[in-house]
């Protein structure tokens, strides 16, 4: 597998201001878009942002759902259906990541949904989701997000479409249909399982994918879950300042990983090394725009539509149930910001250096490290290698996939005495075997 990839990385931000004011349209056909999401709260903001754009410019064709992180299949599909119904968009296809099955020799069974991260897919879905454990089940976690704190049922109008177990179109089928139909841009704002499996299974369809935009990873991020402001009162508890990742309930064990990469590191590796141009919007960028008190208050006074009310309600609930009292410095615009950058670049006609109205861009060679050093040591944690004569997917025995793989959140391997965790699985790293940043190009801030 080739390791060199150019990525476009968004590194910093020039916030807000003239959204939409200097729009100029790409001539001709609207941009066809496929969105892969794990339907967390900020994914809903991102989805609504996308749906509010001019449909003659941006044509959202399909939504595929990763049900392996913040939400479960049935809830997530219904949530998306109802949001689409509210927005008058029952035409948009919705596919769900379903049962996975990858044989021991690496053969991927057709039409696999990708229910589990790739490393955990055996003949069925009996794995125990080592990575998902970074997401709490109870308060503030999966069960709250599944129903968007109950707001789906209590606020959204209900359309005709409903989740139908076993008959629900799979993410794989929807991807095949929409990607084979013509040039398309893929936006990934959750873990990469669905899309990685699609790429591994359908290399002949890669030619139709114009560009991939990803919210994920932390390259040089410094403020993953909020640092105390300089003049903070003593009650402010510093969290994870200066590290790269954002596993906020698990960062002492793994200070490096970012949720979307951590959700399925090997899938992220596949996507980043697919050969398709990728623009990454990592924590480095998203974490410079917290939802401040000023933003929140301004939003509260500007709820002029039903969908704005829905967003505000959801945001307020996210604030009121936030895991600490640092919401205004640690809740960031992750996914919606990503969609903003992606659509701004598309609207500008996809300029070479990714000029857009929100962020500065930089070219970098990066990769995703999916296991920990020492590589090549078989310790029973790594299903790609351990006990197999030929590693899955023909991976190399001494490469970045062949070391210890985090077995769970409280993996003893990850903890060092008196220190922070050492597990690095799934951080995005600068690829150091090459020269570091040979070329960096900055769009001038607007
Ligand atoms: C949407 O885009 C189309 C095509 O560029 C343009 O003709 C139309 O005026 C736009 N509509 C709005 C409301 O901006
Ligand atoms: C998985 O399926 C293969 C082929 O059908 C079979 O040989 C193997 O024993 C199965 N492995 C497990 C763990 O069930
Ligand atoms: C990325 O790596 C390739 C191959 O080594 C190199 O030619 C290129 O200049 C590098 N690009 C950047 C931006 O570092």
Tell me which residues have their CB closer than 6 angstroms to ligand 2.
103, 122-123
Query: Among 49-53, 278-282, 438-442, whose mean pLDDT is lowest?
Result: 438-442
Residue 428: pLDDT band by 50, 70, 90 thresholds? low
Atom in ligand 1 nearest the alpha carbon of residue 26: 5
pLDDT in tens, 33-48: 999 999 999 999 999 9
Instruction: Note the pLDDT of residue 329.
Output: 87
pLDDT at 261 > cutoff 70: yes
Query: Among 61-70, 196-205, 396-405, whose mean pLDDT is lowest?
Result: 396-405
The kind and range of the H/E element at 210 are strand 209-215
Instruction: Note the pLDDT of residue 206.
Output: 97
- Name the residue with higher pLDDT: 280 or 424: 280
Instruction: Note the pLDDT of residue 366.
Output: 84
Ligand 1 centre distance from Cα of residue 56 (Å): 6
Residue 16: pLDDT band by 50, 70, 90 thresholds? very low
- Residue 164 CB contacts under 8 Å (≥ 6 apart), including other chains: none
pLDDT in tens, 295-336: 999 999 999 999 999 999 999 999 999 888 889 988 999 999
pLDDT at 137 > cutoff 80: yes
pLDDT in tens, 74-132: 999 999 999 999 999 999 999 998 666 677 777 887 776 666 788 887 655 555 678 88
- Which ligand approaches the C-alpha of residue 3 most closely? 3
- Which contacts qualify for 375-382: CB closer than 8 Å, 24 or more apart? 375/399, 375/400, 375/402, 375/403, 376/402, 376/403, 377/403, 377/404, 379/404, 379/413, 381/405, 381/406, 381/407, 381/413, 382/119
Q: Whose CA is nearest to atom 8 of ligand 3?
A: 438
Ligand 2 centre distance from Cα of residue 215 (Å): 36
Residue 427: pLDDT band by 50, 70, 90 thresholds? low
Query: Among 69-83, 95-109, 139-153, 373-387, whose mean pLDDT is lowest?
Result: 95-109
pLDDT at 195 > cutoff 90: yes
- Residue 224 CB contacts under 8 Å (≥ 6 apart), including other chains: 218, 239, 240, 243, 244, 245, 246, 248, 251, 258, 283, 287
As a dihedral over the C-alpha atoms of residue 38, residue 43, residue 49, residue 54, rounded to 10 degrees, the angle is 0
Ligand 3 contact via 441 beta carbon (within 6 Å): no
- Name the residue with higher pLDDT: 65 or 219: 65
Ligand 1 centre distance from Cα of residue 105 (Å): 51
Parallel/antiparallel/unpaired status of strands 93-96 and 6-13: unpaired
pLDDT at 55 > cutoff 90: yes
Atom in ligand 1 nearest the alpha carbon of residue 25: 5
Best residue among 123, 127, 386, 388 to mutate for probing ligand 2's pocket (most ligand atoms within 8 Å of CB) is 123
In whole angstroms, give the CA distance from residue 215 to residue 217: 7
Alpha helices, H only, 87-155: 142-146, 151-155
Ligand 3 contact via 442 beta carbon (within 6 Å): no
Residue 222: pLDDT band by 50, 70, 90 thresholds? confident
Two tokens at 360?
């500065």
Instruction: Note the pLDDT of residue 268.
Output: 93
Ligand 1 centre distance from Cα of residue 358 (Å): 21
Distance of CA 367 to the CA centre of its chain: 16
- Which ligand approaches the C-alpha of residue 388 most closely? 2
Best residue among 19, 20, 25 to mutate for probing ligand 1's pocket (most ligand atoms within 8 Å of CB) is 25
Ligand 3 centre distance from Cα of residue 403 (Å): 26
| pLDDT (mean) for 414-436 | 62
In whole angstroms, give the CA distance from residue 39 to residue 74: 12
Strand order through the sheet with 31-37: 93-96, 58-65, 31-37, 184-188, 209-215, 278-281, 6-13, 359-368, 428-430
Query: Among 32-41, 209-218, 400-409, whose mean pLDDT is lowest?
Result: 400-409
Best residue among 20, 22, 56 to mutate for probing ligand 1's pocket (most ligand atoms within 8 Å of CB) is 56
- Which ligand approaches the C-alpha of residue 20 most closely? 1
pLDDT at 11 > cutoff 80: no
Best residue among 434, 439, 441 to mutate for probing ligand 3's pocket (most ligand atoms within 8 Å of CB) is 434
Two tokens at 131?
């990575």
- Which ligand approaches the C-alpha of residue 362 most closely? 3
Atom in ligand 2 nearest the alpha carbon of residue 104: 1
| pLDDT (mean) for 216-225 | 84
Ligand 3 contact via 432 beta carbon (within 6 Å): no
How many DSSP H helices and E strands does the chain contain?
13, 9
Query: Among 19-23, 116-120, 399-403, 421-425, whose mean pLDDT is lowest?
Result: 19-23
- Residue 167 CB contacts under 8 Å (≥ 6 apart), including other chains: none
How many residues can be counted in the chain?
446
In whole angstroms, give the CA distance from residue 36 to residue 192: 8
Tell me which residues have their CB closer than 6 angstroms to ligand 1.
25, 54, 56-57
Q: Whose CA is nearest to atom 11 of ligand 1?
A: 54
Instruction: Note the pLDDT of residue 113.
Output: 60
pLDDT at 200 > cutoff 60: yes
- Which ligand approaches the C-alpha of residue 28 most closely? 1
Ligand 2 centre distance from Cα of residue 378 (Å): 22
pLDDT at 219 > cutoff 60: yes
In whole angstroms, give the CA distance from residue 312 to residue 429: 35
- Residue 361 CB contacts under 8 Å (≥ 6 apart), including other chains: 8, 9, 10, 11, 279, 353, 354, 355, 441, 442, 443
Residue 351: pLDDT band by 50, 70, 90 thresholds? confident
Residue 289: pLDDT band by 50, 70, 90 thresholds? confident
In whole angstroms, give the CA distance from residue 239 to residue 226: 6
| pLDDT (mean) for 3-27 | 40
Among residues 184, 328, 334, the alpha carbon closest in space to that of 259 is found at 334
In whole angstroms, give the CA distance from residue 84 to residue 80: 6
Atom in ligand 3 nearest the alpha carbon of residue 363: 13
Q: What is the mean pLDDT of the chain?
A: 83
Instruction: Note the pLDDT of residue 6.
Output: 45
- Which ligand approaches the C-alpha of residue 55 most closely? 1
Atom in ligand 3 nearest the alpha carbon of residue 439: 13
């Amino acid at each position: 597998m080739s390791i060199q990839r150019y990525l476009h990385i968004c590194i910093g931000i020039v916030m807000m201001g003239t959204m939409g004011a200097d729009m100029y349209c790409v001539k001709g056909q609207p941009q066809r878009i496929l969105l892969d999401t794990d339907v967390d709260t900020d994914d809903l903001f991102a989805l609504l942002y996308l749906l509010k754009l001019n449909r003659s410019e941006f044509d959202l064709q399909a939504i595929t759902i990763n049900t392996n992180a913040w939400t479960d299949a049935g809830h997530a599909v219904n949530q998306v259906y109802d949001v689409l119904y509210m927005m008058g968009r029952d035409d948009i296809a919705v596919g769900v990541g379903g049962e996975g099955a990858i044989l021991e020799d690496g053969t991927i069974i057709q039409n696999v949904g990708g229910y589990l991260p790739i490393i955990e897919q055996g003949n069925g879905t009996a794995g125990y989701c080592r990575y998902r454990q970074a997401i709490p089940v109870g308060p503030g976690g999966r069960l709250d997000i599944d129903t968007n704190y109950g707001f789906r049922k209590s606020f959204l109008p209900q359309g005709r479409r409903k989740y139908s177990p076993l008959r629900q179109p799979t993410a794989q089928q929807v991807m095949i249909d929409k990607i084979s139909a013509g040039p398309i841009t893929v936006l990934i704002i959750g873990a990469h399982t669905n899309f990685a499996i699609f790429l591994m299974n359908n290399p002949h369809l890669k030619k139709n994918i114009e560009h991939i935009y990803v919210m994920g990873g932390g390259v040089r991020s410094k403020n993953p879950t909020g640092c105390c402001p300089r003049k903070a009162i003593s009650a402010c508890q510093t969290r994870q300042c200066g590290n790269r990742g954002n596993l906020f309930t698990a960062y002492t064990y793994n200070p490096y990983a970012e949720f979307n990469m951590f959700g399925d590191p090997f899938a992220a590796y596949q996507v980043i090394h697919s050969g398709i141009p990728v623009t990454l919007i990592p924590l480095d960028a998203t974490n410079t725009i917290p939802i401040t008190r000023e933003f929140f208050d301004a939003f509260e006074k500007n709820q002029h539509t039903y969908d704005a009310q829905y967003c505000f309600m959801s945001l307020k609930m996210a604030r009121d149930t936030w895991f600490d009292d640092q919401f205004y410095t640690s809740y960031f615009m992750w996914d919606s910001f990503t969609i903003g950058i992606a659509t701004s670049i598309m609207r500008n006609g996809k300029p070479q250096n990714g000029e857009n109205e929100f962020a500065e861009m930089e070219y970098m060679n990066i990769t995703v490290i999916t296991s920990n050093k020492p590589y090549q040591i078989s310790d029973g944690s790594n299903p790609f290698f351990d006990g197999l004569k030929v590693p899955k997917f023909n991976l190399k025995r001494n490469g970045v996939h062949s070391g210890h793989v985090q077995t769970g959140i409280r993996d003893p391997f990850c903890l060092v005495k008196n220190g922070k965790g050492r597990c690095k699985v799934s951080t995005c790293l600068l690829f150091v075997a090459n020269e570091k940043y040979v070329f960096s190009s900055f769009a001038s801030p607007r």
